[in-house]
Structure 1
Amino acid sequence: MNMHVAMVPARLRVAVIGAGMAGLSCADRLACAGHCVALFDKGRGAGGRMSTRRMQTALGDVEFDHGAQYFTVRDPAFMAQVARWSARGVAAPWPVAGTGAWVGVPRMSAVVRDMAEQHDVTFGWHVSGLVRRDGAWFVSGECAGGGREQRGPFDAVVVSLPPEQAAAIVALHDLSLASTALAARSQPCWTAMFAFTEKLATARDCVRETGVINWAARNSAKPGRRGPETWVVQAKPDWSAAHIEMAAGDVAARMLGELGKALGVELPEPTVAAAHRWRYAMSSGSDLGALWSETSRIGICGDWLLGPRVENAWVSGKALASMMLETVEAAVA
């Protein structure tokens, strides 16, 4: 699609598709610079792969961090951000996962929800495409009630989604960005969730790379958690890929057996046994950081542009915002 570079306004109106860590990080930086940001997410709340699943059971409400299990800190700027989360009580260290491991408190999604509270976010809104009209962008999608809408106008669009989904959104408008996204590949992950009436007979709070288990954790042992004994079990990527269309109930049964074998204990019948399929869980990453086109005024950010870590998603969002701000500064200079 041919486009000309229009005059860049000093105050951008930006649509961000995806209210996960990368999208919110980008929104933070843009809003701090005085730009107007609106975020859209198909979920019921902020989280992305840092989401927390809540279920009503006979034991009461139970919660599972069924996406990212913890995050680590290397980048100095991200370290400062984590310190702010810690001061506000929404993040705490979790030494069980290793030196320097952190989790959201009282659930993994707490940190992204804390970020989202500072922004205009429309949840339950599934973006299906972009429309270019009168030199501006409009976001097309389906709201929670099933109706189709368009929101806009916007001067720029940020897509903070897994590469496969990002490519589908931008393909009609920026082939170069879409091609880069298509070159990346996400690995799937089956995640099983279990709740028990009593604590399992093991002192271990986590399991790494045992059998078909990539990671398993006693979710209820994380800082700030309440409620009954809960476990999250994540299958290895190759097993998940080979069984991607397996029924969720069958996956849960298999992972329960694998957990018992890994812990070396006979497990009681769980009160809750469920499984969630993450089709786009992890990417091997690249050194691109973020993608931005001055011509189309579309940007893409996400951990897949750096590596499969929560910190990388945050860094990617900041990197994209910096690219966009350079465009504005150059235009008004």
Structure 2
Amino acid sequence: MVSTPAPTVAVIGAGIAGLACASRLAAAGMTPVVFDKSRGLGGRIATRRGPDGLTFDHGAQFATARGPAFSAYMRGAVAGGAAADWDLPDATRGERRYVGTPGMSSLVRPLAEGLEIRGQHTLTKIERTQDGWQLAFALVGETMVADRVALCLPAPQVAALTQDFPQAAAALASVDIAPCWAVMIAFEDPPLPGTLPDAGPQAGGPIAWMATEGTKPARDAGPARLVLHASPGWSRANLERPAEDAARLLLDALKGLSKGPLPAISHVAAHRWRYAKTQVPLGRPFLDIADGMLLAGGDWCLGARVECGFDSGVSLADRILRDIG
């Protein structure tokens, strides 16, 4: 008796949606291959390392768990030391807020265990052939043929790769994802108590969110550090500014919020998240582009929360597993 090899599944994107998809496929006995343009994991669930080992969670700030699947995952992540509760002064909604430990990107670490993940692979073209889906990657000059492909990328990037599928283009055009400028700041000395507003959402103005890195569990003592997130409107209006200009303008906005002079700044850097926060989601867990053979998903399918990306990835995997039975 000749055994039939399991279909090859390529998962594009090592954010939480891609890793949740690949992890579920692997648990079912498949061997998916995950590709990502960067070296690290997590996508916008990100931790950046600055000079002298300084760390900043400059992407997603925390996760909440409302459904049973993600709640179970977060319980396991906390038990395994990959995540912990973060108590914020504005936590009035009664939801537990989780962060990765020792950095936000650690939150996805359990999903990546045992997976084949190839970093620095930017997908530039996908083409249907008689053998399956041929994938071409920039720089590495590598190609791969896969039976099925899950595109766990922002909706505009999915649209650019699937222009030969007009029905998918129409669905993707309905999704709106706002950008976000993030600014990372380290002070030479801690700000005086009461100088800055409490960490959390900021009402009005260019700054929509402010986090004090030292308030998060399992962070190194280090210098006092802040992460600022600009509002969607401000980020759209200033999207193409040089990073230095964006940092300067948001620092000026921070000074406007402070109730006294700020300490000297030892480090400042800005990062532009071009696709950061879903404003109008697709409205379903994933997009089936080609009869279950080419699919797309991410938080943009369901909403702006980390859990939305996880749920989309799980749904993608379940769609693939349904076909191969």
TM-score normalised by the chain length of structure 1 = 0.89
**Paired residue for 1:292, among 285, 288, 292?**
288
Letter in 2 for 1:195: A
Instruction: Please name the residue that 1:314 is paired with.
Output: 310
Shift of 1:35: 1.4
Q: CA RMSD in A?
A: 1.7
2:111 maps to: 115
Letter in 1 for 2:219: R
Residue aligning to 1:136: 132
Any stretches of 5+ residues in structure 1 without a counterpart?
1-8
Instruction: Work out which of the residue numbers 149, 161, 178 in structure 1 matches 2:153.
Output: 161
Mapped to 1, the partners of 2:295 and 2:284 lie a distance apart of 12
| Partner residue in 2 for 1:5 | none
What SS does the corresponding residue of 1:198 show, helix, strand or coil?
coil
2:299 alignment partner in structure 1: 303
Query: What secondary structure sits across from 2:159 in the alignment?
Result: helix
2:214 pairs with 1:220: yes
| Inter-partner Cα distance in structure 2 for 1:202 and 1:251 | 27
Residue in structure 2 matched with residue 94 of structure 1 by the alignment: 86
CA contact (8 A) 1:188 1:237 kept: yes
Aligned AA for 2:180? Answer: C
Structure 2 distance, partners of 1:251, 1:132, is 42
Residues 64-103 of structure 1 show CA distances to partners (whole Å, capped at 9, x for unaligned) of 1111001111011110100000011010011206241110
Which residue type is aligned with residue 218 of structure 1? Answer: T
CA contact (8 A) 1:167 1:179 kept: no
Query: Structure 2 residue aligned with 1:32, among 13, 27, 39?
Result: 27
Superposed CA offset, 1:37-60 (max 9, x none): 00000111102110111112xxx2
1:271 lines up with 2:247 in the alignment: no
CA shift, 1:131, in A, is: 2.7
Query: Which residue pairs with 1:4 in the alignment?
Result: none
- Check whether the contact 2:174–2:282 (CA below 8 A) recurs between aligned residues: no
Q: Distance in 2 between matches of 1:265 and 1:76?
A: 45
AA aligned to 1:135 is: D
2:36 alignment partner in structure 1: 41
1:192 to 164, 183, 188: 183
Query: What are the Cα deviations for residues 177-199 of structure 1, in whole angstroms up to 9, with x where unaligned?
Result: 23312221211111111011221
Cα distance change of structure 1 residues 274 and 322 upon mapping to structure 2, 3 Å threshold: same
> How many pairs align?
313
Q: Deviation at 1:290?
A: 0.9
User: Which residue of structure 2 lines up, in the alignment, with residue 6 of structure 1?
Assistant: none
Q: Distance in 2 between matches of 1:119 and 1:269?
A: 44
Give 2:294's aligned amino acid: I
Look up the match of 2:233: 238
For 1:311, the aligned partner's letter is E
Normalized per residue, the structure richer in strand is 1
Q: Which moved more, 1:132-141 or 1:209-218?
A: 132-141
**Deviation per residue, 1:264-285 (Å, 9 max, x gap):** 2311231111111111111122
**How far is the alpha carbon of 1:294 from its aligned partner?**
5.3
- Secondary structure in structure 1 of the residue aligned to 2:32: strand
* TM-score, normalised with respect to structure 2: 0.91
Residue by residue, what CA displacement relative to the aligned partner does 1:234-283 show, whole Å, maximum 9, x if unpaired?
01000110111112111111211222322323112311111111111111
Q: Residues 289 and 305 of structure 1 are in contact (CA less than 8 Å); yes or no, is this contact kept in structure 2?
A: yes
- The residue aligned with 1:150 is 143
Name 2:173's counterpart in structure 1: 182
Which among 323, 326, 330 is matched to residue 322 of structure 2?
326
Return the alpha-carbon distance in structure 2 between the equivalents of residues 236 and 293 of structure 1: 32
CA distance in 1 between counterparts of 2:232 and 2:169 reads 25
Preserved contact between residue 171 and residue 282 of structure 2 (Cα < 8 Å): no
Deviation at 1:220, TM superposition (A): 2.3
Contact 2:181-2:235 within 8 A present in 1 as well? yes
CA contact 1:170–1:177 (8 Å) conserved in 2:
yes
CA 1:175–1:115: 2 relative to 1, 3 Å: same
Q: Is the 8 A contact 1:207 1:262 kept in 2?
A: no
Secondary structure, counterpart of 2:54 in structure 1? strand
**Which residue of 278, 281, 288 corresponds with 2:276?**
281
